[in-house]
């Protein structure tokens, strides 16, 4: 039984194939593929593509090897997240994907930044995004979609549950218009990779990222919430997270995980006690720390979090 989403940013995507918990286990084991054809895709070609993107995004494109998946943020002058895209380069072309509904403003911004660079940006109608079994997201011709997914399939429910359990935020859902990269955890994941490189040259918003990294104390921290499983619903996206009746954060995505039960991601004020029980949408929740509230430590490689 195939069930598709009928609303939300992922409308039209397969939600599950009848057994979402089994699909999650198959996904974790690297045996299942996911149809992500609802996500928009595009290419960046031209001799200057990697140097150009290195100058305008948070990622180190200058040293990107062919076949290596990556994720990049585009920040405004204050370091706030405005765009995100994933990509893989094949040596001649960068194959990219972004969040549903976000392609037009992303491409408009990129095209404004081309100037004299030898870069060609193109939308793709005859390609689609797929998560192959055990692999990273890849853009393939539509004719190859079914074969790339494989016979064992997982729906978006499974992928989202695994992502949330891994502590990986989904930009524009787990973030808002004030989010800076330092507030987010970026653990290693086969679904999405680290999006910020700290030792390359300047790019828009880099000053904020570097200052908060060096001096610490980002205003908020991404947190995994372990939701009370006795409540038969999930909290609304964007709901206030409360501590003793006072709003201390914003709820992001949530899903039911095959081992952890109902879980979610939330942005909480940095000073919220890490051992405090909070509530969201009437549902009690315990915290699982993803971003160290201490000064800048969550970005340091030796701590194992936020490696870029």
For 31, 174, 198, the CA distances from 34, given in Å and listed in that order, are: 10, 21, 32
For residues 197 and 33, what is the distance between their CA atoms, to the nearest angstrom? 29
Q: Could you name the CATH architecture of 181-303?
A: Beta Barrel (2.40)
- pTM of the complete model: 0.92
Q: Which DSSP category does 142 fall into?
A: G
For 24, 83, 221, 296, 298, the CA distances from 213, given in Å and listed in that order, are: 35, 21, 13, 5, 9
Query: What is the tens place of the pLDDT at every residue in 209-230?
Result: 888 888 777 899 999 999 999 9
Query: What is the tens place of the pLDDT at every residue in 127-167?
Result: 999 999 999 999 999 999 999 999 999 999 999 999 999 99
Percent of all residues in the chain with a pLDDT value above 90, rounded to a whole number: 83
> CB count, 10 Å around CB of 147?
12
Average pLDDT, stretch 68-76? 95
Domain ranges of the chain: 181-303
- Residue 187 is predicted with a pLDDT of 38
């Amino acid at each position: 039984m195939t069930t598709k989403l009928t609303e939300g940013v992922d409308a039209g995507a397969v939600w599950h194939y009848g057994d979402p918990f089994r699909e999650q286990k198959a996904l974790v084991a690297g045996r299942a593929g996911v149809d992500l054809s609802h996500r928009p895709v595009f290419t960046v070609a031209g001799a200057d593509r990697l140097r150009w993107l290195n100058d305008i995004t948070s990622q180190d494109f200058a040293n990107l090897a062919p076949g290596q998946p990556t994720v990049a943020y585009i920040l405004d002058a204050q370091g706030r997240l405005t765009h995100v895209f994933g990509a893989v380069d094949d040596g001649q072309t960068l194959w990219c994907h972004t969040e549903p509904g976000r392609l037009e403003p992303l491409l408009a911004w990129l095209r404004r930044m081309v100037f004299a660079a030898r870069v060609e940006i193109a939308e793709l109608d005859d390609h689609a995004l797929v998560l192959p079994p055990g692999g990273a997201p890849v853009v393939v011709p539509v004719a190859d979609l079914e074969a790339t997914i494989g016979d064992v399939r997982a729906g978006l429910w499974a992928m989202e549950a695994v992502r949330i359990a891994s502590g990986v935020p989904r930009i524009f859902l787990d973030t808002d218009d004030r989010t800076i990269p330092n507030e987010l955890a970026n653990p290693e994941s086969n679904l999405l990779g680290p999006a910020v490189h700290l030792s390359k040259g300047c790019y828009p918003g880099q000053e904020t990222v570097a200052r908060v990294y060096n001096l610490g104390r980002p205003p908020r921290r991404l947190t995994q919430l372990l939701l009370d499983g006795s409540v038969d619903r999930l909290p609304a996206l964007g709901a206030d997270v409360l501590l003793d009746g006072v709003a201390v954060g914003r709820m992001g995505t949530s899903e039911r995980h095959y081992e952890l039960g109902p879980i979610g991601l939330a942005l909480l004020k940095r000073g919220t006690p890490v051992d405090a029980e909070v509530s969201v949408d009437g549902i009690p929740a315990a915290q699982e720390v993803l971003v160290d509230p201490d000064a800048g430590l969550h970005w340091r490689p030796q701590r194992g979090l936020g490696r870029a």
